[in-house]
Structures are given as structure tokens and as C-alpha cells.
Amino acid sequence: MAAPTAHRTGSVLEGRYRVDGVLARGGMSVVHRGNDLRLERPVAIKILDRELAADPAFVRRFEREARAAARLAHPGIVAVHDQGRDPDGTVFLVLELVEGGTLRDVLREQGRLHPATALTVVEQVVTALRVAHDRGLVHRDVKPENVLVGVDGTVKVADFGLVAAAWEAGTDSADPSDPETGDVVLGTVAYLAPEQVTDGRADVRTDLYATGIVLFELLTGVAPHGGDDPVEVARRHVHVDVPPPSAVVAGIPRALDRLVLAATSRDPETRLADADAFLAAARGVRMDADLPFHPVPPPRRRSAADGARPLRGTRLLDLDAGPPTPPRTTPPRATPPRATPRPAPEDDEVEWDAWDDPDDRDDTEDGWFPEEPDEPADDPAPSRRRGPDDPVDDIDVAIEQIARRRARSRSRRLLAAWLLLEAVAMIVAGAVGWGLGLPG
């Protein structure tokens, strides 16, 4: 199926929704900025690819899923306002407009996130998924492109229903005896759960697997199973365990390693059972690793070209194409991309990556907190450590600066408290002595 094309700017759908510029492109739709002329409010308009819109069975499923998604009233889920079909055949959804960008935009700018920030993101994603799961709705395509980050740092999950409708349409139209339509998988290969690849099954644990992959990527800057061949990537999900994030980036707390591995077990029966289990495990990680709630960085810049960049979104994957490549016994090691230097904030702009104590703000070049290399990993093939002749990386040294600043801050507070107590004691002693010296 060819990539969907943008709708004509300035056109009005059903006499109510004006279509403006492109916000994003996916495998099955294009998202435009729009305006609800009746209520005079900005909206996002997701317009389906015309090939899908011409399939009556798909449109029926899409409308059914849209109605289900519209009932998901939660601040962590992008609201569905309306759905419709224009007389010219355009099928569309009207959504809440989230000013900001996607989690993918954040990763492009930051490279990877501080563990506390990464945990904050996935907690909000799983909280939104729990609401959908309780209503019997499985997302099936959790990925950074489907997680929106507002300018205020709010996190919202988008695209409930669209993938489910396409999945059912693909399943119904596939003939197992036909090599052209037999073994197909719908989803984004980097985040597919093994059961999606092998037999197309998807339940709440499928969403948790994808969320675990997202957490791995937030921590390391790379997906655990990468590559240019989507068939090979899908097979790695089936045959190769997701490694602990600390095997790629040194210093990630072991508690986060355990959370990622529990969420991405290849066997659904040994995976985290549901969103409640994921959230309980995440709370345990916060306590074990001393990771405070950390604000999520909104995308700092997003040009029109960025908004219109095609995404590697949902697609049909032919698993019969070519002979299988033997699975890797160890994942490819990759160095995550470094964050690009960011412009200095305006006077009234608060740095997103500052701790709650202004004295503890990071002063490193990239402006985000590194991982603390406090304990060696138990991995039999540990990641390479920085040698004495290697360039100094702020990821390896800035945590020591933070610790020293915190220690100095605690020492100053203790000294101030002790001096205050001494002063109070002297005043009290003087007052008592003066009182005893008065004539009777």
C-alpha cells in the first residue's frame, strides 16, 4: 500500500472541520491540524488513506473502534471528539489537539533520557493503557510515535482503535494457503511482541511488551532489536531475549533492568500480567533505585518539515519473504546517539532537566543527567568501560558532580542548623543569667 497523501489544505469536511497543515504521517493515515468551525476550537484531524477508506469492512471496524476509543475519558489518552465520512469519501477522526510533539521528537532531541524521566514516561503510558484495558481495548501499536508530549510535559497515548481495526481487516482477508496474504503481521516491527509475530495474538500483555521496549529505548537511545530488515527484526523478537539496558549503557540501575526484562519476557505467561502489575513494579523501582518523579521534557523545536516527516508506522509484514536468518545469540551493541546541544533558554523558561533543588541543576554540555555507575553488572559480557585515554564523557562524570553538590548542600544545611541551635542556646543562657542577676 502506498504512503497516504495529505488532504487539501483549506478544505472543509462535512461542512464543519477545516483542514489545515500536516502534523504527522503514518502508515495508514495523515494527521492534520484543523479547526472545528462550529465550536471554534482547534482540533487534530486524522484522515485515513483512501485505499482503506474504500474498504467498507475496514470502515465499519474503524467506526466501531472509534466509538470505543471515544469512551476512554482520561487525561492520559488523546480524546476522540468525532468521526465522520465526507461526501467525497474521506473518512476521518477528529481528535484533541495536543500542542507539542511526540516521544519520538523528544528522543531525537535528547538522545536518551535520565532513568527517572524514562520511568515517569512509561508510568503515565501504562496508566493510560490500564484505562483502555479495563474497557477491553488493546492498543496493539505502542511506540514513541503514538505517545504525545505536550508543551507542559503532559504525556498522552494516541491512536487507540485504528490498529485494532486494521488488524481485524488483515486477519479476515488473509488466506493461510496464499503466500501473498498468508503470514502477515500488522504492527511496527521494533515493538512487536513475539506472539504478534508468530500467530497474530494480542492482549494486554502485548501492550506491556511494547511499553517495555519503549522503556529500553528511552534508557539507551536505541531499540533492543534494530536493523534494516523488518523480517529479521520481527524474528529476533521471537528468538532473542531483550538484554538488560545496562548492557548497552553502563550505570542504569539494576531495578530498571529487572523491570524491562519482566515486561519483555518472550513468553507471555512469564511476562508482567497486567498494567497494575507493571505499575506496582515501577513503584518498587522508584524506591529501590531512589528515582524521584521527574518532569518529562517537551520537544523544544519542531519545524513543519519535522511534522510532515513520514514515520515507520504500522505496516503489513510478509514473514515468508526470503530464507530466515539465524537469530543472534547476543544483541548488536550500539552507541546511542548523543543529544544535540540545545539553545539557551529564555529568561522565563525553566530547564526541564533540573532537579527540585536549584543547586543540583546539571551543568554538563548536553544538559541532561547521566546514569550513575554505582555497581558492576552481573552480565557475563559487561559493556566496555571508559578507559583512561578515552575522551571524557559527561555521562560518566557528571553524576559525581551532582553527588558532590548534594553533599555540600547537605553539609551547609547541617552547619546552618547547628549554628542556629548554638545561637538560640546562647540567647537562652544569657536571658537566664540576666534574670538570675536581678535584685529580689
Choose the catalytic residue: 141, 159, 257, 362. 141
- Asked if residue 180 is part of any domain, the answer here is yes
CATH number at residue 115: 1.10.510.10
Clarify whether 141 is annotated catalytic: yes
Shared domain check, 258 and 141: yes
- What are 142-176's pLDDT values in tens digits? 999 999 999 999 999 998 866 665 555 554 444 33
Q: Considering the domain boundaries, does residue 354 fall inside one? A: no
- pLDDT score recorded for residue 341: 39
Q: Report if residue 66 sits inside a domain.
A: no
Domain match, 117 and 223 both: yes
Over range 131-150, report the average pLDDT.
93
Q: Please, which residues bridge with residue 80 across strands?
A: 95
Which residue intervals of 15-161 are DSSP H helices?
Answer: 50-53, 56-70, 103-110, 115-134
Distance (Å, whole) CA 266 – CA 193? 7
Report the SS3 class of residue 44.
strand
Among 273-282, 319-328, 426-435, the range of highest mean pLDDT: 273-282
Task: Note whether 125 and 46 are within 8 A (CB).
Answer: no
Q: In this structure, are 183 and 279 located in the same domain?
A: yes
Which of 318, 341, 369 is the C-terminal boundary of a domain? 318
- Residue 128's domain comprises 100-318
Q: Which of 225 and 314 is assigned the larger pLDDT? A: 225
Name the residue type at position 365: E
What's the predicted TM-score (pTM) here? Answer: 0.67
- Which of 284, 318, 352 is the endpoint of a domain? 318
Q: Using the 3D structure, point to which of 260, 287, 318 is the last residue of a domain.
A: 318
Residue type, 130: R
Nearest in space to 142 (alpha carbons), one of 202, 199, 222: 202
pLDDT band at 388; cut points 50, 70, 90: very low
Residue 158 near residue 146, CB atoms below 8 Å: yes
Which set of grid coordinates corresponds to residue 76? 492520559
Pair 309, 400 in one domain:
no
Number of domains in the chain: 2
pLDDT (tens digit, 9 = 90+) per residue, 183-229?
334 558 999 999 999 988 899 999 999 999 999 999 999 999 988 88
